[in-house]
Amino acid sequence: MNRIKKGDQVVVTAGKDKGKKGDVVRVLGDKVVVSNVNIVKRHTKPNPQAGQAGGVIEREAPIHISNVMLFNPASGKGERIGFKVLEDGRKLRVFRSSGEAVDA
């Protein structure tokens, strides 16, 4: 089980976008794509077969998973994640500081 999942709200802890908050759009192994974070300009050629216009396109690039922390709405900042195994064998993500469950 990953510490960060698609749909989680995260805070960027390092890099040019440090301090920004956003939702995880995709998880790609040890990298994540976060909405409105790490925006890059991509120069693309037009592709008439795919109906794609050419030009400069802005999109989100992946950021390493170690540079984001899960946002805790109770404390208002990014916090570390731990795991708790329930008695029926399921794993549950919990915030390390308070011990409260992430996916309640």
pLDDT in tens, 46-77: 999 999 999 999 999 999 999 999 999 999 99
What percent of the chain has pLDDT above 90?
Answer: 86
What's the pLDDT score for residue 104?
55
Q: Note the pLDDT of residue 99.
A: 87
- What's the chain's Rg over C-alpha atoms? 17
Q: What is the pTM of this model?
A: 0.84
Average pLDDT over residues 3-32: 95
Q: DSSP letters along the chain, please?
A: --SS-TT-EEEE-SSTTTT-EEEEEEEETTEEEETTSSEEEEEE--BTTTTB--EEEEEEPPEEGGGEEEEETTTTEEE-EEEEE-TTS-EEEEETTT--BS--
Among 77-81, 92-96, 99-103, the range scoring the smallest mean pLDDT is: 99-103
